[in-house]
Amino acid sequence: MNISSALSSVPDVEFRLDEPLARHTTFRVGGPVRLFARPRSEKALFALLEPIRELDIPFIVLGAGSNVLAPDGPWEMSVIQLHLACNGLLRSEQGADGQKVLYAGAGTKLQKLILYCMENGIEGLESLAGIPATVGGAIVMNASTSFGAISDSLVYADLLDADGQRRSIRRDQLTPGYRTMGIPESSIVLGACFKLRPRSNGMVKARVEQILKNRRRTQPLRFHSAGSIFKNPGGRSAGYLIEKAGLKGYRIGDAQVSRKHANWIVNRGDALARDIIELIEKIENEVYGTFGVRLEREIRILE
């Protein structure tokens, strides 16, 4: 059975065949993928997984594609996005101190959640302003800045586990760390609940603006990228090591080590995944050769 006929019996799924992933990654890199699907509801997501498993095409869930490098392709893979299925935002109050409890679907843009907090005087997520993630991707990666991590305010996450069971997992059952939340392998994050604090709109807005201003000053936001490429090794700055290894501005094809922030690789126009991978390997070798430090990749290279 081919994909189109297998999916014709699944209602409420938008799908495209041979969709270039460059359209769905912040690097603007990635070739055609066999199946790209956006279920319109959680029920449609569950139904979609059945034919995908039957056809035996491996699948991944993609958030905003802001921490991945997708292959030049073509790629025998199904990619599922939850932008339509899990994009709700729910709010409730709790306790005498009026603590704010927010629930966000995994496909919700993190910036939409932060905007909501700004407009409604809710404090706790400002440190994540400017991270172009979905809530699901931010949970999986435990998105953070030097001011805080998303795990700081997480209460629980809802998952669809590898056995197809929907369940909640509490923060204390997870192992949040540097760019990881410890979400069990092969689980799909459906949504997450956060406990936050009341604060004046003006104060939340001022904090968000300060953080965004700092990003504009220090990060090469004019170009397509996936943010930092490497983790900071043992408290040292990866960007500093790359700069001191003489690689600022180093270029392979249209992939370039940013002159503004050496831990970022920017796409100067038509970079290919293979240019970026070659550049990543060059950086790893040079930094190891110069400092004896093995850099660990922060971005996920899809393969």
Contacts of 212 (CB under 8 A, 6+ apart): 129, 130
With binding defined as CB under 6 A, does residue 211 bind ligand FAD? Answer: no
Give bridge partners of residue 57 from the DSSP assignment. Answer: none
Binder of ligand FAD out of 45, 69, 113, 133 (CB under 6 A): 133
Among the listed ranges 11-19, 87-95, 136-144, 165-173, the one in contact with ligand FAD (CB under 6 A) is 136-144
| 188 contacts ligand FAD (rule: CB under 6 A) | yes
Which residue reads 């629980």 in tokens?
Answer: 156
The yes or no reply on residue 176 touching ligand FAD (CB under 6 A) is: no
Q: Which of residues 21-40 bind ligand FAD (CB under 6 A)?
A: 26
Size of the site for ligand FAD (CB under 6 A): 30
Nearer to ligand FAD, 211 or 286 (CB): 211
Residue among 21, 114, 143, 196 that touches ligand FAD (CB under 6 A): 143
CA–CA dist 85, 112 (Å, integer): 16
65/71 with CB nearer ligand FAD: 65
Work out how close the CB of 253 gets to ligand FAD at its nearest, in angstroms, rounded to a whole number.
19
Q: Which of residues 278-297 bind ligand FAD (CB under 6 A)?
A: none
- DSSP for the chain? --HHHHHHTS-SEEEEEEEEGGGGSTT----EEEEEEEESSHHHHHHHHHHHHHHT--EEEESSSSSEE--SS-EEEEEEE-TTTS--EEEEEETTTTEEEEEEETTSBHHHHHHHHHHHTEES-GGGTT---BHHHHHHHT-EETTEEGGGGEEEEEEE-TTS-EEEEEGGGS--BTTB--PPTT-EEEEEEEEEEE--HHHHHHHHHHHHHHHHHHS-TTSEEEEESBPPGGGS-HHHHHHHTT-TT-EETTEEE-SS-TTEEEE-SS--HHHHHHHHHHHHHHHHHHH-----B-SEE--
From 22, 29, 34, 66, residue interacting with ligand FAD (rule: CB under 6 A):
66
Nearest approach, Cβ of 174 to ligand FAD (angstroms)? 13
Cβ proximity to ligand FAD, 51 vs 132, nearer residue: 132
Stretch that binds ligand FAD, among 206-214, 224-232, 243-251, 273-281 (CB under 6 A): 224-232
Query: What's the Cα-to-Cα distance from 249 to each of 51, 145, 216, rounded to whole Å?
Result: 46, 24, 19
Nearer residue to ligand FAD within complex by CB, 188 or 295: 188
Which one of 21, 33, 62, 118 is in contact with ligand FAD (CB under 6 A)? Answer: 62
Minimum CB distance to ligand FAD smaller for 188 or for 241: 188
Catalytic (active-site) positions: 179, 228, 298
Task: Return the residue of 47, 55, 60, 115 that touches ligand FAD, per CB under 6 A.
Answer: 60
Asked if 138 touches ligand FAD (CB under 6 A), the answer is: yes
- In the complex, the smallest distance separating the C-beta of residue 179 from ligand FAD, rounded to whole angstroms, is 6
Could you list the residues that contact ligand FAD (CB under 6 A)?
Answer: 26, 60-68, 82, 106, 131-134, 136-138, 140-141, 143-145, 188-189, 225-227, 300
